[in-house]
Chains A and B, each alone.
Chain A
Amino acid sequence: MAELTSNFIGIKSPNPYWLASAPPTDKEYNVVRAFKAGWGGVVWKTLGAEGPPIVNVNGPRYGAVWGADRRLLGMNNIELITDRPLEVNLREIKQVKRDWPDRAMVVSLMVPCDEESWKAILKHVEDTEADGVELNFGCPHGMSERGMGSAVGQVPEYIEMVTRWVKKHSRMPCIVKLTPNIADIRKPAEAAKRGGADAVSLINTINSITSVNLDDFSPEPMIDGKGAHGGYCGPAVKPIALNMVAEIARSPETAGLPISGIGGVTTWRDAAEFLALGAGNVQVCTAAMTYGFGIIKELTAGLSQYLDDKGMTLDELQGRAVPNTTDWQYLNLNYVTKARINQELCIQCGRCYAACEDTSHQAISMSPDRKFEVIDEGCVACNLCVNVCPVQDCITMEELPLGAVDERTGEPVREYANWTTHPNNPMAKAAE
């Protein structure tokens, strides 16, 4: 079995799966259960400054979006940082790290935006002998109204300033957690790097309203007839997270900056995708909250088997898809594929036909006995039929070889050429 031992910015863990800073990492009891189950590390739920702990609502904290069979596809929350006394958290962190020295113990922090507050909390954390800190510049609800969380994460100058304080007052590795509630994720990442961050982690949750109560006319989760936006997470946010991770991984300004990938990691495959797009490890929350800590066995065994099947090490996987992540203008416009329907696998539901006929290019025919076939003259290879087909691999996209005639255009398939040299592009450079 492929080795999964992970070394992320000097923090070692037996596998690259950490539990993200969230309810599952709020207490010794939960974290010990996670470590017993096999999790590689945790980011302890965010600590605040000394003094009376924050309070949470006492009604529902989570909203949800479900798919078929009530599968949880997305969840949001209006929970705040830890509501337990600081000294209790610190004592438990120290105890757990002592009992589980091989696991990563990172402590998430969120204190007011002044140097003294950060200096004070860092001293406390260092005393626990935790492996590092994660700066929570991401939470989009509640704390942001008090000038913390995403209120900091949305201003690159603040990120840089606070990161600088943290590096000044602590020798611990420092991860800056980024909010996705921003136009260009590269800017806060660059700011973190300028401030001296050892890594960034992303994404934190996305501003969201998951549903509206149509009897009481309030967003949900509903607290006494009112609702507030919460942070969205789970499988639904993975595509957004993957893109943001890739943006940072391939930007010349931030290339090489270690990334802890977060956002909808549910199976080993999701983790492998984050790693391939440049993440050095991944953090998981919603999947654990949905299914319990036992999923770590599939996450680790699955990733290990995948690496074995590929004859690859974890290091070799990391960033492997980054060079292939490019801009649209560089995509090969002479790459031509056609949908192919495997009649053996087809169950004749006709969803490909409805999708293509109603909403696309009328490139699938339907016979009276429900045989569905692709009309190459019309197929633009959009892939919609593949996406709506309920049977995996029943419809595939087949590449036309160089020189073959595309029935749609009547033109032979030519060598690579992209938009930058295309005759229809007013900005095109003259083809040499």
Chain B
Amino acid sequence: MSNSVITPGIQPGRLATEHYASHFDDLYPNYDPHEAMVAADRCYFCHDAPCITACPTEIDIPLFIRQIQAGQPEAAGKTIMDQNIFGGSCARVCPTETLCEGACVREMAEGKPVEIGRLQRYATDSLMARQGHPYARAASTGKRVAVVGAGPAGLACAHRLAMYGHDVIVYEAQDKPGGLNEYGIAAYKMAGGFAAREVEWLLGIGGITIETGRALGRDISLDALRGEFDAVFLGVGLGDVNALGIPGEDLDGVRDAVDFIAELRQTDDLSRLPIGRDVVVIGGGMTAVDAAVQSKLLGAERVSMVYRRDRAAMSASDYEIEHAATEGVTIITGATPVAIHGQGAVEEIEFAYTGGNESFRLKADQVFKAIGQKLVPLDGLATAGRKLAAQPMPGVWAGGDCTDGGEDLTVTAVAQGRDAAEDIHAHLTSA
């Protein structure tokens, strides 16, 4: 192919073939044992450690790091998984600088926290490399639970229920389980097919059946599930996206960032994935960053990420924003999109400085919208704000991005799924 970074339009193959693999490889490879020991030695084993409090799943971080120090990374992995069965993906995608590492006392002491995320990766990789699944099912209770959505919330719920001996059927609308880990996160954070491997490993406990291609409201109904099962858990995520509501939004080349990321994640050959020469991403969250960085990594010449408020208000973490800047993404803040211009396909996008009259235009042959996702409404379910309540109906629990409470993070979804499972178990065994 003769395309390059300066080929106009949306084109595949802008890079030499050999560059794709390295661009989308692990952003941070796993520690080797020496690196892990050096990093682990920095932990102070704090009393009532702030890092634990800062973790939505309350992993006993000082304990698992001490287990690494003591030469048993697999035991450390078990300590993590006891609290968070998605410890492997959380080690890769958590914004640790706002969670555990942000709370680390060595952040206060030296501005350099213990590298908890990378140590967690070391520990969980060690455990997962071991033959067999580390948890056993309790004797079957004969109770059946339906879980809707095979993302982190649903599968965390399913795993905990399976541990208690309940039978779980997971209904997943997509072709593959994993949720956003499989479809919605930058490839370099989940390199090597990790999302699929993690699900397979998790299912090793037994007692969980996943039925893919089965969407709530299309293939199955909540009423039917409630009739057939002893309990229902909804971990359906946010199925819809916010629209810009500006002229030109339907021009060719304008697309939702989540769709782009999902396509990228499911592409076997990245060199065949087309990308614009001038890409503009609208939004200030993790999805915007993942779309912008991956556009750059696919060979876009100029990538801008434009956010309507100031940098401090961006929901992407400082680390993510710095990473985008390092990869060559131009970050523009305080600018609101007002119109997309072009004949059939996008050519320019016009922004107004927020709170002012001045405007400017950016050349664009591709625009990704990443201004937030929203819940697809479900009839008859109690809501909290614009999301579902934790128990939206008798016999129905909910967790993950579709519910209110906490940030829309993998780790929060895992905590909610796990805690819902505890609640469901208590409910099923109290009668």
Which residues of A pack against B, CB within 8 Å? 68-70, 347-351, 353-354, 366, 370, 390-391
| B426, CB-defined interface residue at 8 Å | no
Which residues of chain B are within 8 angstroms of A68 by Cβ–Cβ distance?
A: 41-42
Which residues of chain A are within 8 angstroms of B41 by Cβ–Cβ distance?
A: 68-70
A21 and B354 CA atoms in complex are apart in Å by 77
| B28, CB-defined interface residue at 8 Å | no
| B47, CB-defined interface residue at 8 Å | yes
Can you list 9 A-B pairs with a CB-CB distance of less than 8 A? A68-B41, A70-B41, A347-B109, A348-B50, A348-B108, A350-B48, A350-B49, A351-B45, A390-B44
Complex contact B47–A351 (CB within 8 A)? yes
Complex contact B46–A350 (CB within 8 A)? yes
Which residues of chain A are within 8 angstroms of B38 by Cβ–Cβ distance?
A: 69
A391 and B37 CA atoms in complex are apart in Å by 21
Q: Which residues of chain B from 31 to 54 have a CB within 8 Å of any chain A CB?
A: 37-38, 41-42, 44-50
Complex contact B47–A347 (CB within 8 A)? no
A69 and B47 CA atoms in complex are apart in Å by 22
| B214, CB-defined interface residue at 8 Å | no
Which residues of chain A are within 8 angstroms of B37 by Cβ–Cβ distance?
A: 70
Which residues of chain B are within 8 angstroms of A348 by Cβ–Cβ distance?
A: 46, 50, 105, 108
A354 and B44 CA atoms in complex are apart in Å by 12
A390 and B50 CA atoms in complex are apart in Å by 16
Which residues of chain B are within 8 angstroms of A70 by Cβ–Cβ distance?
A: 37, 41
Task: Say yes or no: A351-B109 contact (C-beta < 8 A), given A69-B38, A69-B41, A70-B37.
Answer: no
Q: Which residues of chain B from 82 to 129 have a CB within 8 Å of any chain A CB?
A: 105-106, 108-109
Tally of contact residues, B, Cβ under 8 A: 15
A347 and B109 CA atoms in complex are apart in Å by 6
Which residues of chain B are within 8 angstroms of A354 by Cβ–Cβ distance?
A: 47
Nearest 4 A/B pairs, CB to CB: A350-B47, A354-B47, A68-B41, A347-B109
A351 and B44 CA atoms in complex are apart in Å by 8
> Which of A69, A349, A391 sits near B46, CB closer than 8 Å?
A349
In the complex, what's the smallest C-beta–C-beta distance from B68 to chain A, in angstroms? 13
Residue of B37, B42, B46, B49 contacting most chain A CB atoms (<10 Å): B46
A354 and B62 CA atoms in complex are apart in Å by 14
A390 and B109 CA atoms in complex are apart in Å by 10
Minimal Cβ-Cβ distance residue in A for B48: A350
A349 and B50 CA atoms in complex are apart in Å by 8
In the complex, what's the smallest C-beta–C-beta distance from A346 to chain B, in angstroms? 9
A390 and B108 CA atoms in complex are apart in Å by 13
A110 and B42 CA atoms in complex are apart in Å by 45
In the complex, what's the smallest C-beta–C-beta distance from A393 to chain B, in angstroms? 13
Supplied contacts A350-B49, A366-B48, A391-B109, 8 more A-B pairs, CB within 8 Å:
A68-B42, A69-B38, A70-B37, A347-B105, A349-B46, A351-B45, A353-B47, A366-B47
In the complex, what's the smallest C-beta–C-beta distance from B70 to chain A, in angstroms? 12
In the complex, what's the smallest C-beta–C-beta distance from B102 to chain A, in angstroms? 13
In the complex, what's the smallest C-beta–C-beta distance from A148 to chain B, in angstroms? 39
Complex contact A370–B44 (CB within 8 A)? no
In the complex, what's the smallest C-beta–C-beta distance from A285 to chain B, in angstroms? 26
Minimal Cβ-Cβ distance residue in A for B109: A347
A390 and B106 CA atoms in complex are apart in Å by 10
A70 and B33 CA atoms in complex are apart in Å by 13
In the complex, what's the smallest C-beta–C-beta distance from B261 to chain A, in angstroms? 39
Minimal Cβ-Cβ distance residue in A for B41: A68
Minimal Cβ-Cβ distance residue in B for A352: B47
A351 and B43 CA atoms in complex are apart in Å by 12
Complex contact B106–A347 (CB within 8 A)? yes
Complex contact B50–A370 (CB within 8 A)? yes
Minimal Cβ-Cβ distance residue in A for B38: A69
Which residues of chain B are within 8 angstroms of A390 by Cβ–Cβ distance?
A: 44, 109
Residue of A70, A347, A351 contacting most chain B CB atoms (<10 Å): A347
In the complex, what's the smallest C-beta–C-beta distance from A27 to chain B, in angstroms? 32
Minimal Cβ-Cβ distance residue in B for A348: B105
A370 and B47 CA atoms in complex are apart in Å by 10
Q: Which residues of chain B from 310 to 327 have a CB within 8 Å of any chain A CB?
A: none
A299 and B104 CA atoms in complex are apart in Å by 36
Minimal Cβ-Cβ distance residue in B for A388: B44
A358 and B413 CA atoms in complex are apart in Å by 35
A315 and B231 CA atoms in complex are apart in Å by 84
A100 and B351 CA atoms in complex are apart in Å by 81
Minimal Cβ-Cβ distance residue in B for A70: B37
Minimal Cβ-Cβ distance residue in B for A370: B50
In the complex, what's the smallest C-beta–C-beta distance from A213 to chain B, in angstroms? 13
A70 and B69 CA atoms in complex are apart in Å by 11
Minimal Cβ-Cβ distance residue in A for B37: A70
Minimal Cβ-Cβ distance residue in A for B40: A68
A391 and B110 CA atoms in complex are apart in Å by 11
Which residues of chain A are within 8 angstroms of B46 by Cβ–Cβ distance?
A: 348-351
Q: Which residues of chain B from 1 to 52 have a CB within 8 Å of any chain A CB?
A: 37-38, 41-42, 44-50
Minimal Cβ-Cβ distance residue in A for B34: A70
A351 and B106 CA atoms in complex are apart in Å by 13
Minimal Cβ-Cβ distance residue in A for B46: A349
A20 and B105 CA atoms in complex are apart in Å by 42
Which residues of chain A are within 8 angstroms of B42 by Cβ–Cβ distance?
A: 68
In the complex, what's the smallest C-beta–C-beta distance from B264 to chain A, in angstroms? 41
Minimal Cβ-Cβ distance residue in B for A355: B47
Minimal Cβ-Cβ distance residue in B for A390: B44
A390 and B44 CA atoms in complex are apart in Å by 8
Which residues of chain B are within 8 angstroms of A350 by Cβ–Cβ distance?
A: 46-49
Which residues of chain A are within 8 angstroms of B47 by Cβ–Cβ distance?
A: 349-351, 353-354, 366
Which residues of chain B are within 8 angstroms of A391 by Cβ–Cβ distance?
A: 109
Q: Mark B154-165, 1 if CB is under 8 A from A, else 0.
A: 000000000000
A69 and B37 CA atoms in complex are apart in Å by 7
Which residues of chain A are within 8 angstroms of B105 by Cβ–Cβ distance?
A: 347-349
Which residues of chain A are within 8 angstroms of B44 by Cβ–Cβ distance?
A: 349, 351, 390
